[in-house]
Amino acid sequence: MKSNRTAFLFLVCLLFLGMIFLLNLSLGSVEIGFSEVFWGLITDHWEKASYREIVLNFRLPKALVAILVGIGLSLSGLQMQTFFRNPLAGPYVLGISSGAGFGVAVLLLAGSALGFTVGAISPWSTAFAGVFGAGGILLLVSAVAWRVRDSMTLLIVGVMFGATVSALISVMSYFSQAESLKLYTIWSLGSLGGLGWNQVLILAVLVLFGTLPVIASTRSFNALLLGESYAESMGINSMKLRWLVILSTGILAGGITAFCGPIAFVGIAVPHLARLLWKSPDHRILFPGSAVVGAGLLLLCDTISQLPGSAQTLPINAVTSLVGAPVVIGLVIKRNFSKEF
């Protein structure tokens, strides 16, 4: 009976994901019919040539990015919550997002703070800067992981790294020119659009490589629910698992932040939604469940942010925060997390 319910929920979530995907491609400043999008994607025959251009070169890459980002942040958030046994841990808790932000800040703000004029900045340059910044913090966290065995100490150090980097960004922001500061502020609001097919492909590869450690360590995460000592008594190498978590989260959170900016609340809220839906602590269910729910939720947020029928779009962070914050608050108030962590 329980397996039937699990399969039914996956089927419902996949159908919801498909419907939201088509809705996301249909709505926008130019409304295109549901059936037109569906048959256009299958047959490549469109009522108007402009519809093909809009869907294939603008809306489809953005929708795929939303799916990839939703999957990546949800999986990394679930890993962090389980590994640190903390219901409010998220993919950015080790300071990796702040590292990516620092890389972009150096690109956009440092020159301005020193009196240089910042010219046109391409998405590639911000992505590379974000990757280098996230990679730098990842190396620092890895160095600390060699020296400490306590997971809570690693968590505290990661938070302190993030706070330090955020302080450096604040100093650069204070001395920067208005134009450069505006560019950085817009980046920090997050965006799923503006990426070409080459960038979408690179992001997909990063998400794929970031999920491989997750697939390899499902059994270890289930054992970890009962504590590190119990997991080690079952033959789980906690140090190896720590490295897999750091590697996976670094690739997922760092790559996503580099290309899309920091996306709030998805990595914290979605794992709890998956637990609530499937009512299971088994990570063989929670990992794919979080991936499907995360993809659908971020697609829904992106659809809302487009303000259908209008040329204006809301920052994706504003929408995810409006959706995610009430979810987290409600879960914290109503649920007894001590039974799960």
Run of H or E including 199: helix 197-216
> What type of residue sits at position 277?
L
pLDDT of 339 reads 59
Question: Tokens at residue 130, please?
Answer: 């974000």
Task: Of 59, 198, 21, give the one whose Cα is nearest residue 123.
Answer: 198
pLDDT of 122 reads 65
For residues 335 and 68, give the distance between their C-alpha atoms in angstroms, rounded to a whole number: 29
Domains and CATH numbers, the chain: 2-339 (1.10.3470.10)
Sign of the CA dihedral with 274 first, then 338, 83, and 139 last? positive
For the range 120-125, what are the long-range contacts, defined as Cβ-Cβ under 8 Å and sequence gap of 24 or more?
Answer: 121/183, 123/194, 123/195, 123/196, 123/199, 123/259, 124/199
For the chain, 341 residues long, give each residue's pLDDT as a single digit of tens.
Answer: 567 888 899 999 999 999 999 998 888 777 787 788 888 888 888 888 888 888 888 889 999 999 999 999 999 999 988 888 888 788 888 888 888 888 888 888 876 555 555 555 666 777 888 888 888 888 888 888 778 777 778 888 888 888 898 898 888 888 888 888 888 888 888 888 888 888 899 999 999 999 988 888 888 888 877 766 767 777 777 778 888 888 888 889 888 988 888 888 888 889 988 988 888 888 889 999 999 999 999 999 998 888 766 667 888 888 888 877 787 777 667 666 555 55
3-state secondary structure of 237: coil
pLDDT of 277 reads 87
Contact 94, 162 (CB under 8 A): yes
pLDDT of 123 reads 67
Sign of the CA dihedral with 166 first, then 167, 168, and 174 last? positive
pLDDT of 121 reads 61
Each residue of 241-265: b (16+ CB within 10 Å) or e?
bbebbbbbbbbbbbbbbbbbbbbbb
Task: Please enumerate in sequence order all residues whose Cβ is within 8 A of that of 156, keeping only pairs 6 or more positions apart, or say none.
Answer: none
pLDDT of 63 reads 94
| Confidence (pTM) | 0.90
If you count DSSP H runs as helices and E runs as strands, how many of each does the chain have, helices first?
16, 0
